[in-house]
Amino acid sequence: MEAKPLVSNLIAMDRRLEGNDLLCLLKFWRVHDQIDIPEDVFYTILKNGTHPEVIRRSRQLISEERRKAYGITSETEEKRLELGRETRAQAKQATLWG
């Protein structure tokens, strides 16, 4: 799903969304993902919820710190991903022939 035109449509309907990521996210979920968010929950999240970007950046920092701590490089990450692909392929093959 391409979110950009959907977000653009939401912003066209409510200009406040352009400067408020949390409101935009909640409206997107409500309108396009058709998630029923009760009015009181919607406004409680707006009033007290941590900004999604703060959470995303924190998660990203933790991920980067863990990579450095464990010596994970793009090369080791690619090897890990390849091993995962091979394991899934083997599991699929075993399921087909088992």
pLDDT tens digits, one per residue of 25-76: 999 999 999 999 999 999 999 999 999 999 999 999 998 898 888 877 778 7
The alpha-carbon radius of gyration of the chain (Å, integer) is 20
Q: The whole model's pTM is what?
A: 0.63
State how many domains the chain has.
1
> DSSP code of 17?
G
Query: Looking at the domain assignment, is residue 65 inside a domain?
Result: yes
The domain of 24 spans: 3-72
Angstrom CA distances, 90 to 3, 26, 39, 81, stand at 35, 41, 48, 14
Pick the residue with more confidence: 68 or 8? 8
- The string of DSSP letters for 23-41 reads HHHHHHHHHTS-----HHH
d(CA 6, CA 3): 5
- pLDDT value at position 95? 81
Does 77 reside within a domain? no
